[in-house]
């Protein structure tokens, strides 16, 4: 379970306050995969960062009774001069998992070949995505935070990524941000729509998608 209690976030952009979360109170229940929808710039990615602990809210708090992943597939924290394997082993020690088991899992999933033992700074964008996603799936979390991650890589890797993700979600929850309604329908049962700093919960992902599409149409017609 993840509970947002009176959560607010305000950015200052060129001296002008921009509100992305306005006193949000909501519960993401245990065992649910929830699609988080909203227009570009609504604050979906910021909300995931707050839930993961990477970003601090302006006010309010996030309460959880389980473990929460970083944003699945995020590669921004890898050390550029360490190899892929060394980065994986470093993260394994931080999270208290077996270093050899995690290294073997990531090496098998990412299929980087000899590049797995080369410095991360030499990796292409696709190779970084493979390493990051494999590492994210190699550690078990109660809730996975997913932001467009299955859209990276070639077609074969996208299929493998989604298959692995679905396997993990048999035992875990997720909050999923994606512009693909088809993906949200495959992964999520419930939905939440972020609009003008307010979060509206829907028990049915179809209802959430419908509300989001209405929001987009109203803005276009205005």
Distance spanning both ends of the chain, measured CA to CA: 38
Mean pLDDT of the chain: 92
E strand map for 94-187: 143-147, 173-177
> Going by C-beta distance under 8 Å and a sequence separation of 6 or more, which residues neighbour residue 121?
80, 81
Structure confidence at residue 120 as a pLDDT band (50, 70, 90) = very high
The answer to whether residue 104 is domain-embedded is no
Q: Is residue 155 part of a domain?
A: no
Comparing CA positions, the residue from 95, 72, 41 lying closest to residue 187 is: 72
Q: Decide if pLDDT at 221 tops 60.
A: no
Please, which residues bridge with residue 5 across strands? 61
Q: Half-sphere exposure (CA, 13 Å, Cβ side) for 135?
A: 31
β-strand pairing of 59-64 with 2-13: antiparallel
**What was the pLDDT predicted at 99?**
97
* 75 within domain boundaries: no
**Cα 32 from chain centroid?**
15
Task: Flag whether 39 is in a domain.
Answer: yes
- Count up the domains in the chain and report the number: 1
Q: Which residue has the higher pLDDT, 126 or 139?
A: 139
DSSP 8-state assignment for residue 112: -
In a domain, 221, yes or no: yes
185 class by beta-carbon count within 10 Å (0-12 exposed, 13-18 middle, 19+ buried) = middle
| Residue in this structure with the two tokens 């394994």, named with its chain if needed | 92
Q: Which CATH number is 58's domain given?
A: 3.40.50.300
Q: Among all chains, which residue has been given the structure tokens 């935070």?
A: 145
* Domain span including residue 187: 1-67+173-222
What are 166-209's pLDDT values in tens digits?
Answer: 999 999 999 999 989 999 999 999 999 999 999 999 999 999 99
Q: Which pLDDT does position 151 carry in this prediction?
A: 55
Within a domain: 167: no
What pLDDT does 112 receive?
Answer: 95
pLDDT tens-place string over residues 132-152: 999 999 999 999 999 876 555
> Is residue 48 situated within a structural domain?
yes
Kindly state whether residue 81 falls inside one of the protein's structural domains.
no
């Amino acid at each position: 379970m993840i509970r947002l209690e009176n959560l607010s976030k305000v950015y200052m952009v060129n001296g002008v306050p921009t509100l992305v979360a306005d006193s949000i109170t909501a519960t993401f229940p245990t065992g649910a995969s929830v699609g988080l929808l909203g227009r570009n710039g609504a604050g979906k990615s910021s909300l995931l960062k707050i839930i993961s602990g990477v970003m601090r809210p302006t006010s309010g708090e996030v309460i959880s009774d389980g473990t929460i992943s970083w944003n699945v597939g995020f590669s921004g924290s890898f050390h550029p001069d360490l190899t892929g394997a060394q980065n994986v082993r470093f993260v394994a020690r931080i999270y208290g998992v077996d270093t050899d088991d995690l290294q073997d899992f990531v090496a098998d999933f990412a299929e980087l070949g000899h590049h797995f033992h080369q410095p991360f700074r030499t990796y292409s964008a696709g190779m970084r995505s493979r390493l990051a996603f494999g590492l994210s799936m190699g550690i078990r979390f109660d809730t996975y935070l997913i932001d467009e991650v299955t859209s990276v890589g070639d077609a074969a890797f996208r299929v493998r990524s989604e298959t692995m993700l679905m396997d993990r979600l048999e035992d875990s929850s997720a909050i999923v941000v994606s512009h693909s309604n088809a993906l949200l329908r495959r992964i999520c049962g419930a939905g939440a729509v972020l609009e003008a700093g307010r979060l509206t919960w829907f028990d049915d992902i179809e209802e959430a998608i419908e509300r989001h599409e209405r929001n987009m149409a109203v803005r276009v017609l205005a």
